[in-house]
Amino acid sequence: MQNPRRIAHESLFLSMCCLEQGNLLEAEKYIDKCLNFIDIFNDINKSMVYNTLGDIIKSKDSDLALKYYNKSNSFFFNPDACNRIALLYLERNRLSEADSLFNKSLRPKAYESNTRLMKVYADKLFLTGNISKTLDIYRQMSAEKDSLYKEKEKNSDMLIEKAYKQLDQKDIEIISQEHIIKVNMIIIISLLILIFIIGAFYIQLKKQKQVEFIQCQQKVSKWERMLKQIENNQSISQWDKTDRKFFVEYYKKSNSEFTETICNNYESLPVNAEIFLILQNMGKNKQDIIDIMGFSDQAYRSLKSRIEKTRKQDTEIQ
């Protein structure tokens, strides 16, 4: 029809459909048409155009995508754009900026996108050592998942009710009373089986979620106990190799600067050597390290010498 207004709006819908199908080339072609007619759109639709444009190019150029998401919000507040910006900030470890957008990015009934953002945010918070806030986010995730399951159950009930009405109407018009009874019996049995499967699946997911949450709490609690033990200069000679690896792994997660220093300055280190360096990083002196690791003076010097041999740079351990 060569109507600019129709071309503009239909191009936006086509771009969104192609994007959902993963056809980025077609999505980009149609969004370019939208940009040619951008003045035709109202502010809400302009916001949708730039949000869609950001989604199309974020895999190629995240900086430019961030610019388009912000432009989307400049026309009209767009929770989807806020959600994408928060995820990009989290990928870049810009936690304070992501934190300011976090609650704005959560939308009512957008359970899957909300949960995805919460998971990334919680993982980043855990690495910073903010255990309390991490657990709060996990609780929010749990509530979102419960809401999602309830919504799906509600939709399933509505579909079942609609199917019943349609089948009843067709049965009355087409088939005999005897056939109606047989069909209804089959439907009821099928629905009971379906409800049983959905219920079992829901229970299994809920149990799995509870187990994951408990495991997370147990790991956090174990890490806190181990850290307190070292902070109090208590001996760790009773720790086995698994305990020592666990402590090193979580210390590295909570201290990215230390992890980077280890990677840059040393070749592969055994776990005791890494604990030695961690204790130094925590400000422990020689006697503290000997007491904590249960070393003799000779063992201390021997381990220090072995670590020194793995250094990439010509600096000595103090």
Taking CB atoms within 8 Å and a gap of at least 24, the contacts of 59-65 are: 59/24, 62/88, 62/91
Please provide the average confidence, as pLDDT, over all residues in the chain: 80
Angle (deg, nearest 10), helices 79-91 and 43-57? 30
Predicted local confidence at residue 18, as pLDDT: 92
Residue type, 89: Y
Q: Over range 122-140, report the average pLDDT.
A: 74
Q: Which of 51-65, 107-121, 127-141, 256-270 has the lowest mean pLDDT?
A: 107-121
Cβ proximity of 278 and 226 under 8 Å: no
pTM given for the model: 0.41
Tens of pLDDT, residue by residue over 25-39, are 888 888 888 888 888
Give the confidence band of 20 by pLDDT, cuts at 50, 70, 90: confident
Tens of pLDDT, residue by residue over 253-306, are 888 888 888 888 887 788 888 888 888 888 889 888 888 888 888 989 888 888
Closest CA to 61 of 32, 14, 95, 24: 24
Higher pLDDT, 170 or 233: 233
CB neighbours of residue 305 within 10 Å: 10
Q: Over range 136-143, report the average pLDDT.
A: 75
Give the confidence band of 168 by pLDDT, cuts at 50, 70, 90: low
Cβ proximity of 109 and 151 under 8 Å: yes
